[in-house]
Amino acid sequence: MAEIVSEPGMPVANSVLSQEGAAPRERTAALRAAGRMFNTLVLALVTVILTEWLARGTLSGIAEYLLSPTRPGMVAVLVLFLLFIAADSLFGRAHQSALILVPVALLPAFLSMQKQQYLSDPLYPSDMLFGRQIGELVPVMFAARPFASIGLVAGVLALLVLLGYLLVLGRRHLPALSPLSKLVRLVVALPLIGGFLSLMDPNSFSYIRDRLNIVPMMWDQQENYRHNGFLLAFAFNVPMANVQAPHGYGADAIADIAPERLPANFFAGRDADVIMVMSESLWDPTRLGNTTLSPDPMPTIRKNASGNMFSPEFGGMTANVEFEALTGFSNAFLPYGSIPYQQYVRRPLPSLATFFASKGYVTRAFHPFQSWFWNRANVYQSLGFQSFKSEENMPVMDKRGIFASDEALTKEIIRNADSTKEPFFFFAVTLQGHGPYERNRYAKNTIDVRSAALKSQSRDSLATYAQGVREADDSLKSLMDWAKKRRRETIIVLFGDHLPPLGTVYTEAGYMPDVVATRKASVSVMKQEHETPLVVWSSKRGVQKDLGSVSPSQLPYYIVRLAGYRHPFYTGVLGRLNERYAIIDRHQLIGRNDRPSPDWATSGAPIDPLIQDYRYLQHDQMFGEGFGTQRFFPEQLERVDTPAS
């Protein structure tokens, strides 16, 4: 009998068996696909947990972040899950993307934890702009902790080798994705990722983002990272370079700002020479409790103290303090975590250098390190300095430890001053006081440190730091002694940029509850954790006393006024602010009576018109149309292409 077939050449029995076997294979394939997706979800969850653990330095709070209905932890997990499956489809193998994306997520979290051990803030995307600076400081860290540094380098190399090995191994053994599976993953993941990215503008309200409990808190980055988690908060900070104009800014708003009470050209000045020294990490270590330092490491500074500088930073970010002190502008009006020298100084800006140059002064900057550091070579040109003396074009300088000594820098300043016939404005940034404060930096420490509260390592760090303060004080004395012998008046301004990163010295001595300063606290606590020494002195008029606590942005007011000049912005706008406010900080304004105005920029309360005018003028010069250039910065007219009037 002839055999019945369903297709030419195929028996019916074989066809039935083939159809019956296809269903289990399809179910098996579906289960495998579902299992892979579940594994990817678990991998995303574990990655978020590890990221939070690294960024926080503790497991505390992670469970609440992931499980609380008011927190976006699971949203972060789902977003990472979508990134994994989309990237897997591009690699063509399941879980292959994890070998790239997991390290990319964990490394910034680890760096954030390391940063917070020395500074007050977590890692921002803008920190990547000065990776070269960090690289240059590696020898310093190596000198302070050589064995730990060797272990770190060895560990990094081992991880890189392991990652390369896993990538090769993954291409061989991880399951390949079918064309249909890759297409489905992309079709599902890409629209959802695109929709999520549309929610990440922190300057606009989003109903969906609000329902997901994602709250961009750009005014309080500590809370931003705590509430949203490291990955989401880091993503919010990516567009921080986009500075929007303050509400109400325009030509009419600038025209309404009151000018200087007296015409600027009425005061011709005295052609006094001005030397402004920002001393790296200069602070008064005798403020520490439960600790005795003998002899006093800063007798000259103490005798000639004018008040205190209120630094907006702690332990680092020198360039932000420098920006305020030279321009009279404030970081309070810029995105939290931004670095003006790296991000925003892209065109000619008014500064003390441009002002004094307009009066016929020679303007020169000094820093005994490489000129690219903090982008200073470009920034100083934009700020109007006629020349910049850096490590590249200075004579070889004597060192204390591995840094150029304050004494050598002071001698270089004096040498330049003696060879300059015209009045001059010199701005110098010292280097010797830079941390870390390793035990054997100096062959001999002349300051005796006694403290039952400090452990041996902390006591050694403090002794090294105090010796640096002593030598900074000696350098100031040398500069003042030289100035007293000159015929022409010499104004010397010295201040510390921030408190030093002394780590456990602060906690063991009971000075601060943490190794870094807080950003928001009472006036007394903020002053304790942010004040540095300030000297404003004239060889003919002596010390300018009782200035109180001063924000760096207010320094130009005191300098221009002491030199005998008037200026629409430096003595006009800043002068009116100075009458009302001692400190202008992004978190609070502190009045002359020490009365705080906390959260002034975010509370919704009306902003003082003086502060608003100040902000308008800063935006006008840094990002805007220059409507106020002719009235408030006439010296800028020759430096800008098309100044507005």
For strands 588-591 and 490-496, give the pairing. Answer: unpaired
Question: Does residue 388 sit within a domain?
Answer: yes
Measure the CA–CA gap between 300 and 481, rounded to whole angstroms. Answer: 11
Alpha helices in 57-130 (DSSP H): 62-67, 73-91, 98-116
Does the pLDDT at position 18 exceed 80?
A: no
543 plus 620 within the same structural domain: yes
598 plus 541 within the same structural domain: yes
Point out the least confidently predicted range of 80-94, 151-165, 413-427, 586-600. 151-165
With contact defined as beta carbons under 8 Å apart, do 465 and 500 qualify?
yes
236 plus 333 within the same structural domain: no
Question: What distance, in Å, lies between the first and last C-alpha atoms of the chain?
Answer: 106
Count structural domains, the chain.
2
Place of tokens 């040109």: 381
State pLDDT tens for residues 443-483: 889 999 999 999 999 999 999 999 999 999 999 999 999 99
Here the CATH number for the domain that contains residue 550 is 3.40.720.10
Q: How far is CA 545 from CA 138, 309, 531, 539, 541, in A?
A: 41, 13, 16, 14, 11
443 plus 574 within the same structural domain: yes
What local confidence, expressed as pLDDT, does residue 209 receive?
87
Question: Does residue 1 sit within a domain?
Answer: no
Query: How many other C-beta atoms can be found within 10 angstroms of the C-beta atom of residue 282?
Result: 28
**Last residue of some domain: 190, 221, 240?**
240
395 plus 537 within the same structural domain: yes
Pick the closest to residue 50 from 117, 86, 118, 98 (CA basis): 98
DSSP-derived letter for residue 448 is E
Place 150 in a pLDDT band, splitting at 50, 70 and 90.
Answer: confident
56 plus 179 within the same structural domain: yes
| Residues in Cβ contact with 530 at an 8 Å cutoff, skipping those fewer than 6 apart | 310, 311, 312, 314, 498, 499, 517
DSSP-derived letter for residue 405 is -
Does the pLDDT at position 141 exceed 70?
A: no
Question: Does residue 11 sit within a domain?
Answer: no
| Residues in Cβ contact with 196 at an 8 Å cutoff, skipping those fewer than 6 apart | 79, 82
**CA dihedral for 67, 72, 73, 75, sign (positive or negative):** positive
Q: What's the one-letter identity of residue 313? A: E
Measure the CA–CA gap between 102 and 105, rounded to whole angstroms. Answer: 5
State pLDDT tens for residues 63-82: 999 999 999 999 999 999 99
Percent residues over pLDDT 70 in the chain = 87
Measure the CA–CA gap between 475 and 491, rounded to whole angstroms. Answer: 15
Instruction: Looking at mean pLDDT, say which of 88-97, 240-249, 392-401 comes out highest.
Output: 392-401
The overall average pLDDT reported for the chain is: 86
With contact defined as beta carbons under 8 Å apart, do 87 and 101 qualify?
yes
Question: Does residue 352 sit within a domain?
Answer: yes
Angle at 394 between CA 389 and CA 395, to 5 degrees: 160
Does the pLDDT at position 139 exceed 90?
A: no
Measure the CA–CA gap between 469 and 302, rounded to whole angstroms. Answer: 12
Question: Does residue 248 sit within a domain?
Answer: no
State pLDDT tens for residues 300-339: 999 999 999 999 998 888 999 999 999 999 999 988 778 8
Place 161 in a pLDDT band, splitting at 50, 70 and 90.
Answer: confident
For residue 124, the enclosing domain spans 27-240
**CA dihedral for 134, 135, 140, 144, sign (positive or negative):** positive
Place 604 in a pLDDT band, splitting at 50, 70 and 90.
Answer: confident
84 plus 128 within the same structural domain: yes
Place of tokens 């980055």: 221
183 plus 287 within the same structural domain: no
> Residue 7 has which token pair?
């297709």
Percent residues over pLDDT 90 in the chain = 53
What is the model's pTM?
0.76
Pick the closest to residue 534 from 495, 561, 497 (CA basis): 495
121 plus 166 within the same structural domain: yes
